[in-house]
Chains A and B, each alone.
Chain A
Amino acid sequence: MTTTTPTTELTGGCQCGAVRFRAATLGRSSICHCRMCQKAFGGFFGPLVTGFGVVWTRGEPKWFRSSNQAERGFCGDCGTPLAYHTDGDDKSVELAIGAFDNPGLAAPVLQVNPRDRLDFFAELTSLPTRPYGAEPRIDTFIDGVVSYQHPDHDTAQWPEVSHG
């Protein structure tokens, strides 16, 4: 994989590239511990940043009505969770931070709904890790990955070739 300078554009999209978005500006970035975000993202929390002036520049998310107050958008082709939208909000859409081409542009500043925070959350940053070179079988796998993920910038056409 080639290393490129992370974009400063407020663009992003799903893993397969069928859905792409652009935001004009970003508001507050947070991680939400609520059980609905946990389950919707299959993760420990929901990482969401408020996007203003959001335009879907390729495709559209598929929406699931997760409650009577909100719906959640995802890519129907590859599943990437992309958005959370509260009914009646005509100014902003919450966007999934990891779906940004440069997720570093939306570093969370807040934890919301701490009541549902998982017990082991505070220890997550001090887990042991396996440095490159420690397990050749895994290094071989990683070095051999042929990624079908959309690149971290807009593209005129995608995929360039079919992966069959």
Chain B
Amino acid sequence: MAETFTGGCQCGAVRFRVDGPVRHASICNCRMCQKALGNIFGAWAEFDTPVTWTRGRPTTFRSSAKVQRGFCNQCGTPLTYQWGRNNPSLTIGAFDHPNDIVPTGEVARDNRHPTVGHADELTAEPLGTADEERDILAILKSYQHPDQDTESWTPGGAP
């Protein structure tokens, strides 16, 4: 049986499910992906099977004549890239377990942001002392949807 992947936006208003296998996973350095995602590259997973929207649906913006990009209009998480009537590609970070979707290709390398070539060499900042960490965790209350499907969910952390 094919592996099933789930994911959704940060607030949980939009959730999806898609059957594997992943056809292709890649990062894209093109300027449209950078700006659409506010990021230094886009990270996309393509599937042969259509995605099922299990809660809500993305809002779409037509970013070029043939392409629509979908996002959650409640929290902004970028979710899809759809060329014509093809199955939409999904943003890898929106999956509940992004470590399961390993990119194997790079698109538009000639437009790499200067950081991409050495991002893994940047200084890593420790989280601070254990006490500080405990202090932060003690007061932080995340309103992000959990990394799994939920029976019901109120976006924004309302009780």
Q: Which residues of A contact B (CB under 8 A)?
A: 14-16, 30-31, 35-36, 38-44, 47, 62, 64-69, 72-82, 96-99, 103-104, 107-115, 118-122, 124-125, 127-130, 132, 141, 144-150, 152, 163
Asked if B113 lies at the interface with its beta carbon under 8 angstroms from chain A, I say yes
Interface contact B11-A15, CB-CB below 8 Å: no
Say whether B72 faces chain A, with CB atoms less than 8 Å apart.
yes
Q: Is B104 part of the contact surface with A, judged by Cβ < 8 Å?
A: yes
A-B interface contact total, Cβ < 8 Å: 250
- CA separation between A111 and B145, bound complex, in Å? 24
How distant is A57 from chain B, measured CB to nearest CB, in Å?
A: 16
Q: Is the CB of B37 within 8 A of A43?
A: yes
Is chain B's binding surface mostly helix, strand, loop or mixed? mixed
Interface size class on chain B is: 35 or more
Tell me whether A41 and B140 are in contact (CB under 8 A).
no
Which residues of B from 58 to 96 have beta carbons under 8 Å from A? 59, 61-67, 69-79, 83, 91-94
Beta-carbon nearest neighbor of A78 in chain B: B61
Residue B38, interface by CB 8 Å: yes
Contacting residues of chain B (103-119) with chain A, CB-CB under 8 angstroms? 103-107, 109-110, 113-119
